[in-house]
Amino acid sequence: MSFFKLPKPPSRNMSIFWTSVGAIVGLRIYDQNAKDRVIQDFTSKASQAANQIAPWNDRPRKVVVFLEPTGWSKYWFEEFVKPVFDAGALDYDLIDEDHPSLIVDKVKEVLWNAKESFIEENRPVAVQSKSWFAGYSQQSMIDKQQVMYDKMYPHLKKVKYDQSMSLIAIGPNAWKHILYGVIEGSYTSRPIEVVPEVMPDAMASDKIALDDVNLPHPSVEYPVLGFIPSAYRGGFIRFHYRVAGWFNRRANAEECGQEALKIVLNQCRSYNPDDAYLGSESFVATEKVDVKAKNVKPQDVENDKLTTAAESLEVVPLAVAERLLMNRMIMAPTLRNEFRNLTKTLFKTLRNNFALQSQKSLYGLIATSFYEQE
């Protein structure tokens, strides 16, 4: 009789169960720790920009972030982008519209404000009116004092358009609509408000003509554009992407963190025609996405036309493209690209070894001929 009994080993099914659970939990914990290290690396680099001493008369740089009308775009921003922006002390406005066409309206408003502010600043000064005592009137003195105050403290002046602002898109759908809004805002001007009862039927045209006369003055600087990748993983068809992404968030954190860091440091380059295809591999048309269009009124027909035109955009006119800048540089290979290259290399190695070892068999001959055809 032995005083020490070994525990009974678990059954085959229990071994398979606990092995699977341990592997899933281990992968998740490893990915979470790796993602935290990646974000910590980018936030430490962004904090260097926040610790720099800015001039006393410097105006804070404003960034406008446009989200796609899906919950996934907001998740990617809060999970991977917001920590870098907060560490860099970047002032940003978050635009989360119910319909993608409203993004076009916001961008057009920015371009129209740029044109109007340039016209107001270069408007000739009117002759100062004088009072009966040959002195300047009280309103003229107030205007003159305001002009002097704006020259002394330019950073406190209320401007209609800030040339240092940036327009950032989270996801390919928002990126397409920003480009379309830049084009329409460049070639059009703000429509004059007309009373509907007085406006004749001939003027009620739903199509806006693009005219080169409306292009901004060459001295007007366009807002800097930026793109941060975001993938839509809704629906049953993309269920496997959601499962794989649950264990691969470190790659998403590095890809989005690099772009967010370039925006914080304001690293710019010229616009490239290939930039119109950014995110095309994960692009999903709006009609296939459950947009938050519950608050959109009967103008849905026009919005859908505008959305279709924006999503089919491929080429930006040269007159606009040559004046655009982007907060995007040539990136080093991300974790996702390195994983893809490693997988391709491993597959080629296994394929070559398998073909060499099985040349004498019939299956090896078939496989060899099949790989040679590729």
One digit per residue, pLDDT tens: the chain, 374 residues?
Answer: 556 677 777 888 888 899 999 999 999 999 999 999 999 999 999 998 888 887 776 777 889 999 988 878 888 999 999 999 999 888 889 998 888 888 998 999 999 888 888 887 776 655 555 555 555 555 566 666 666 666 666 656 667 777 788 899 998 888 999 999 999 888 888 887 654 544 444 333 444 556 667 788 788 888 899 999 888 887 788 888 888 888 888 988 998 999 999 999 888 888 888 888 888 777 777 767 767 655 555 555 567 777 777 777 778 888 888 888 888 764 444 444 554 555 556 556 655 655 555 444 444 444 444 444 44
Q: What pTM did the predictor assign?
A: 0.74
Q: What is the rounded distance in angstroms from the CA atom of residue 184 to the CA atom of residue 309?
A: 11
| Helix or strand holding residue 228 (H, E) | strand 224-228
**Taking the mean position of all CA atoms in its chain, how far away is CA 179?**
11
The phi and psi torsions of 340 (rounded to 5 degrees) equal -65, -45
The number of CA neighbours under 13 Å toward the Cβ of 362 is 0
Q: What is the rounded distance in angstroms from the CA atom of residue 60 to the CA atom of residue 159?
A: 13
Q: What is the rounded distance in angstroms from the CA atom of residue 160 to the CA atom of residue 166?
A: 15
How confident is the model at residue 82, as a pLDDT? 92
CB 277 within 8 A of CB 229: no
Place of tokens 């907001």: 74
258: closest CA among 172, 332, 339, 176? 332
Q: What is the rounded distance in angstroms from the CA atom of residue 291 to the CA atom of residue 312?
A: 18
Amino acid letter, residue 147? V
Residues forming beta bridges with residue 224, ordered by sequence position: 166
Q: What is the rounded distance in angstroms from the CA atom of residue 188 to the CA atom of residue 317?
A: 14
Q: Following DSSP, what letter does each residue of 92-152 receive, concatenated?
A: EEEEE-SSTHHHHHHHHHHHHHHHHHHHHHTSPPPPPPB-TTSSBPHHHHHHHHHHHHHHH
CB 282 within 8 A of CB 172: yes
How confident is the model at residue 280, as a pLDDT? 79
Q: What is the rounded distance in angstroms from the CA atom of residue 230 to the CA atom of residue 65?
A: 13
How confident is the model at residue 372, as a pLDDT? 47
How confident is the model at residue 83, as a pLDDT? 93
314 to 4, 116, 277: CA distances (angstroms): 76, 29, 7
**What is residue 6's three-state secondary structure?**
coil
Q: What is the rounded distance in angstroms from the CA atom of residue 255 to the CA atom of residue 149?
A: 45
